[in-house]
A and B are shown apart, each in its own frame.
Chain A
Amino acid sequence: MSRFKSEATWRVLLQILALCSGAILLLILGFLAWETLPILHTIFLDQFWRDPGWYPSEQAYNLTPMVMGTLGVTVGAVLVATPLGLLSAVFCQYYAPTGVAQLYRRLIELLAGIPSVVYGLWGLVVLVPLIAKVQPPGSSLLAGTLILALMILPTIALVTDASLASLPPSYWHGSAALGLGTWATVQGICLPAIRSGLLTAVMLATARALGETMAVLMVCGNVVQVPDSIFAPVRTLTANIALEMAYALDLHRSALFASGLVLMLVVTGLVVVTDRMTDAPES
């Protein structure tokens, strides 16, 4: 019957499309690896942290300053944003009147969708001059940390909010019967109960912060150095790629792809671990 034939044809067609989608990741990994190969053939791996500095024109490829810059802004942003995002979710769930909570949630959702280049613009025009008043030049590790914290705060707040919302009301009945206050219940029962949700939120936010390019590129100052204070300008791995890809050739280009590959592997690792954690049954 022709009907079955056409169904089989469709099935094959859809399968091909699905395989194409699945193959994109392999394609990306393949191309990053391919473009990375030239530099791995030429220099020793340890030159990435032993070379005198990052002078691609003189075959010095020390990535340490950029790695430190990326780690600095990411760790700082996560440290700032996690408690704020957490409290923000607690506010939405347990403290705000229903109407206020709805409005507040709308605001946070809106901010989760604001493009990073707009955060960068605001940081450059408003935040950097403010920091410069305290300690010039303003474009600094601190500015990057704060802008990134602002950007990942909605992620943490929304994921935590959803985890809190999924808690059964019986927890509250139980603690109310014991005469516990709101904060005591939040601290003693709700937060421990959503530990894995909170961890997921933090991991997602970390992945986002590690990979973020535009906002940090615009506010960090982009000087290749290991920062000696929070007011010192830094350059992240992502900013390094964005700044130099346009004119990089040969080994220089290859070194940039190498840093992109490392970034991708780290972020992928985080995502996979988070996925596994979310899938694993709660103990």
Chain B
Amino acid sequence: MTSPTLSPPSFTADHHQPPSVRVENLSLRYGRKMAFANVDAQFRAGQITALIGPSGCGKTSFLSCLNRLHELTPKAQLSGQVYLNNCDTATIPLTPLRRQVGMLFQKPNPFPLSIYRNLAFPLKEHGICDRTLIHHIIETTLTDVGLWAEVKNRLKAPALSLSGGQQQRLCLARALALKPRVLLMDEPCSALDPLSSEVIEDLILRLKGTYTILIVTHNLGQASRIADDVAFFWVQHDVGQLVEFGPAKDIFAHPKDPLTAAYVSGRRG
């Protein structure tokens, strides 16, 4: 595993180098149930890492620990550390942390507001009040996700009136508008039709280099098309484990672990 040089922790908005994400001995339990245990990994800066594995092996829970979204679940207990570059996320206040680490969910979840307000409301919450600046950011991000041409004439329409694929792109724009440096994606295409899913996939590839991306996917084809690295999770003794982690071509061509080999060739899981 190659380790990029670790830059000192710096989280000012203009500094826009994607950080590496490193987890040490990370475990999460919900009450008595262990979601996953003892995960150690370093996800490379600016690269796309796909998290694959069968359902219920803790991939989604793992993702939610990286922006501390697990804290929404009262019973969730985390142990171990998550580092952005060298900075322990437990020491970063929630608001700047979640601004650094954007997230896209399995089901598109725009707010029940207008398209415009969906983007403007989070920006205002993060202290950006200049209207021309807000408008500029909205136009750029919507253009980035290829939605601007489709919605520029109806920015006041409710976001829930958009199609599923459009909603998901809006959610991506909403995350990008805050200029995050890491993007977490929890099966962002699984609720979409194949065409919309292809559009999102292309978008993700375009974001590579600018963001450190971690994507949970059940679609092995997708993982092999877009991922630089692959992390394979499996359930052992009722607890999610990181079984194998490495460059995508190695995992798909020469998996070391027999479980990985069985899974990527479609024999198990």
Contact = CB atoms under 8 A, between A and B. Distances in A.
Interface string A69-85: 00000000000000000
* Size class of the contact patch on chain B: under 10
Interface string B13-52: 0000000000000000000000000000000000000000
Interface string A1-22: 1010000000000000000000
B258 interface: no
A1 B125 CA distance: 12
A139 to B, nearest CB: 56
Interface residues of A, number: 2
Contacts of B221: none
A172 B127 CA distance: 59
Nearest to A3: B127
A1 B127 CA distance: 10
Contacts of B125: 3
A118 to B, nearest CB: 41
A3 B124 CA distance: 11
A110 B137 CA distance: 55
A3 B125 CA distance: 9
A228 B214 CA distance: 82
B17 to A, nearest CB: 24
Interface in B102-138: 125, 127
Contacts of A3: 125, 127
A218 B127 CA distance: 64
Interface in B151-204: none
A72 B116 CA distance: 66
A99 to B, nearest CB: 34
A3 B127 CA distance: 9
A23 to B, nearest CB: 27
A1 B126 CA distance: 11
Interface in A1-51: 1, 3
B62 to A, nearest CB: 29
Nearest to B126: A3
Contacts of A1: 127
A3 B96 CA distance: 13
A3 B122 CA distance: 13
Nearest to A2: B127
Contacts of B127: 1, 3
A8 to B, nearest CB: 13
A186 to B, nearest CB: 39
Interface in A131-180: none
3 contacts: A1-B127, A3-B125, A3-B127
Rank and list the top 3 A-B pairs by shortest CB-CB distance, nearest first: A3-B127, A1-B127, A3-B125
Interface of A: 1, 3
